Amino acid sequence: MPELFESSSIKKMMLTNRIIRSATWEGLAGENGSVTPKLIDLSVQLSRGGIGLIITGHAYVSPEGRATPWQLGVYSDEMIPGLMEMTKTVHGTGGKILMQLAHAGSYAASLLSRLDPIGPSPVKSKSGLIGKEMTLENIKKVIKAFSDAALRAQAAGFDGIQVHGAHGYLLSQFLSPFFNKRKDEYGGDIDNRTRFAMEVFEAIRIAVGPDFPILIKLNSEDFLTDGLTLEDMLYTAEKLGGKGIDAIEMSGGTIVSGKNIPSRPAKPDSENPEVYYEAAARQYKKKIRTPLILVGGIRTFETAERLVTEGVADYIALSRPLIREPNLVKRWGSGDRRPALCVSDNGCFKPCFKGEGICCTVRGRFEE
């Protein structure tokens, strides 16, 4: 029976426990996406706090795919020296770190990049349609941007990469019929809608070789009318698993999914269970052998341990609790099993938009 605080491996990447820091936008990179001392310091805090594996905040693979200000970038070889300093420092504390590769698609921040957003299809917004439909040439260029970014991550010493295929970002947009209205080989049925994700994965695998861990983050579902369904996710996960993806992180929702956005505000209640995607994870485990990382709402040691020992998930991922308590895993491991102090109010993201970086805005109001 697996245990939460046991060593394990994803491919040849050895981990000291089964708790992972889920990719979280830190808002601490330079204006051009470069690594800063503050970003390195945060990574070191997480590593020293006992986390088994750090996944960086979403790093944009090409300029038109940038989502937010002060977002980490991996679109140029000029980023490699700073990224190398990040991995060197984390490894010096005994930690492991993956880079999450991302492209925001139609939701890219055009004011930051001064480039038109691109996606599988234009997306409806309050201001009308946004984003241009990607041409086949665009698709080829973005696939290459992902594989080039993976090579940079490998050269910088990261222990692997995770492709962001969730939350309404570009791969998620291709997978979802809510966003993808294409009539060519990249749209229509689920087999066509998985094509872009498969081609991104295959290009990265060719670039980095057979031994470098490649993970992907997928939505359990979009929680949108005509969005990605549980059945679509299971099909996609099984197809990726068959091609050799090394682990899949399950999340859910998009920025337009109402109360079911990825970072749901407020504490769990009877209508908002602690583990947002447990039912979907159980369905996944019935048919798919690829290791599963589960994120979403997990706030107690007992729940995290149960999910692992019952085989609902192979790894537990945390995001907001580690903003409040970077040392949460060490606290749990030492025997202090009080629930995470995070109140899930999403206030931690507000400083990011001011250039101050992510931080808990209620820390100090409660006894710790």
DSSP states of 168-236: TSHHHHHH-TTT----STTSSSHHHHTHHHHHHHHHHHHHH-SSS-EEEEEES---STTS--HHHHHHH
The amino acid present at 279, given as its one-letter code, is: A
357, 38 in Cβ contact below 8 A?
yes
Q: Write out the two tokens for 188.
A: 């229509």
Torsion angles phi and psi, residue 54, rounded to 5: -100, 130
Handedness of CA 233, 234, 240, 245 (dihedral sign): positive
The DSSP 8-state label assigned to residue 13 in this structure reads: E
The amino acid present at 60, given as its one-letter code, is: Y
Provide the b/e sequence for 214-230 (b: ≥16 CB within 10 Å). Answer: bbbbbbbbbbbeebbbb
Euclidean distance between CA atoms 132 and 91, whole angstroms: 41
118, 131 in Cβ contact below 8 A?
yes
Q: Given 60, 75, 107, 169, which residue is catalytic?
A: 169
Torsion angles phi and psi, residue 248, rounded to 5: -125, 130
359, 352 in Cβ contact below 8 A?
no
Tell me, yes or no, if 169 is annotated catalytic.
yes
The amino acid present at 267, given as its one-letter code, is: K
Q: Which helix (H) or strand (E) holds 113?
A: helix 110-113
- Alpha helices, H only, 225-277: 230-243
Euclidean distance between CA atoms 328 and 341, whole angstroms: 9
- Alpha helices, H only, 265-362: 278-287, 301-309, 320-324, 328-333
Strands 13-15 and 8-10: antiparallel
Q: Which helix (H) or strand (E) holds 45?
A: helix 37-48
Residues acting as catalytic residues: 169
